[in-house]
Amino acid sequence: MKPPKQRSACALSSSLDILGDKWTLLILRDILFIGKSSYGEFAQSEEKMATNVLADRLALLECQGIVTKTVAADKKSKFTYRLTEKGLDLAPLMGELILWGHQHCANVDDTALMLELRQDQAGTIRKYQELARAAAR
């Protein structure tokens, strides 16, 4: 898997080269906030992403060093995807996406996470980063 090409030396543009699509950040959301870790779990999420796109994005995330892929502890035929530190550093970004969506998009469900984020954004982000780190051990 080859990395997507960089369109410019702009930091924002470079981030979008990797994250700028409708699916990638949903996978990371599933890992960070929902605690998912396998292909099958990602495939079942509410937004129903096509499996070829899922496989493509997982490969891309792995080659970018945002997630790691290891054989699952319980089954040899299963893989476990975890966030690296580079991936965990996307937590604040995801927090902002959640808050903006909640404030400005119609028909968005209220969740416990939302309430938590609004009351203590930085603390909530740290908490989920720590949970993900703990799961990786």
Please give the full DSSP string across 81-120, using - where no structure is assigned. Answer: EEE-HHHHTTHHHHHHHHHHHHHH-SS----HHHHHHHH-
Site string for its own copies, 8-37 (x = CB under 8 A): xxxxxxxxxxxxxxxx-xx--x--------
According to the binding rule CB under 7 A, does residue 31 interact with DNA? no
Measured between alpha carbons, how far is 119 from 123 in angstroms, rounded to an integer?
A: 9
Interacting partner of 107 out of DNA, its own copies, none (Cβ under 5 to 8 A depending on kind): its own copies
Stretch that binds its own copies, among 36-44, 73-81, 109-117, 126-134 (CB under 8 A): 109-117
14 versus 38: smaller Cβ distance to its own copies? 14
Interacting partner of 61 out of DNA, its own copies, none (Cβ under 5 to 8 A depending on kind): none
Stretch that binds its own copies, among 50-58, 70-78, 97-105, 127-135 (CB under 8 A): 97-105
CA of residue 66 relative to chain centroid, distance? 9
Measured between alpha carbons, how far is 47 from 26 in angstroms, rounded to an integer?
A: 9
Report the nearest approach of DNA to the CB of residue 2 (Å).
10
In the DSSP assignment, the letter for residue 68 is: E
Interacting partner of 63 out of its own copies, DNA, none (Cβ under 5 to 8 A depending on kind): none
CA dist 92 to 40, 79, 98, Å? 26, 26, 10
